[in-house]
Amino acid sequence: MDAREYLNQWAGPYPVMLGGSGLVLLVGTLDYWTGKEISLAMFYLFPVSLVAWFMKRLDGFCISLLTAMVWFAVDFMMGHFYSQPPFLYWNTAARLVFFAAVITILSGIKVAYNENSQIIDGIRLALAKINTLRAQTPICAWCQKVRDAEGCWRSLDAYAKEHSVLELTHGVCPECLGRLEKDVV
């Protein structure tokens, strides 16, 4: 079970969104308190990344919109003046585009990670089956029955069919056919 499944099973998607929103507001508050001289830009990225990884892409876009609005509000309340008023809106739009790019990249990485996990699980399962075939298995020298893990003696055909993709068919090899012909004649 990965972290996303654990968080969703534990309490659903709401704690992650609320936690991400709370982190955005916390970073915004800290950004306001520290003033214009100290930039907390990198800390705005953490809640966006957190929500984008553990939730869906749309949830990531929602939290990035909230983050851009909080950053805009902090800039506005601090009296961060620009030479032209539209620059404040331009910077907000640029931040939003940056967050959207991060969300898109993280979502792609998460999809690739999940696909790789499924492939690895399939390989592990196949390897486990191969290892069961490679184990030393007792076989009766007289009747050619195989003793399985439970201690039951089963025909070689049934054992091979259960533990591999082999399907045995019966035939007579040329050497045995020659012996059989000598015995019959």
Report which listed range, 10-19, 30-39, 61-70, 71-80, is most confident: 61-70
- Predicted model pTM: 0.61
Q: Give the residue, 185 or 22, on which the prediction is more confident.
A: 22
Report how far apart, in Å, the C-alpha atoms of 109 and of each of 1, 44, 53, 133 are: 18, 20, 9, 36
Domains in the chain: boundaries: 3-118, 133-185
Spatial separation of the C-alpha atoms in residues 79 and 88, rounded to whole Å: 11
Residues of the chain with pLDDT > 70, as a percent, come to 88
Report how far apart, in Å, the C-alpha atoms of 180 and of each of 98, 170, 171, 177 are: 81, 15, 13, 5
Closest CA to 57 of 20, 111, 113, 116: 111
Spatial separation of the C-alpha atoms in residues 175 and 20, rounded to whole Å: 75
Mean pLDDT rounded to a whole number for the chain: 84
Q: With bands split at pLDDT 50, 70 and 90, how would you rate the model's confidence at 11? A: low
Amino acid at 31: D
Q: Give the residue, 144 or 46, on which the prediction is more confident.
A: 46
Task: State residue 10's pLDDT score.
Answer: 60
Instruction: Tell me how far the alpha carbon of residue 153 is from its chain's centroid.
Output: 42
Mean predicted confidence (pLDDT) in 76-87: 83
Q: Give the residue, 14 or 83, on which the prediction is more confident.
A: 83
Task: State residue 101's pLDDT score.
Answer: 95
Q: With bands split at pLDDT 50, 70 and 90, how would you rate the model's confidence at 127? A: confident
Task: State residue 61's pLDDT score.
Answer: 92
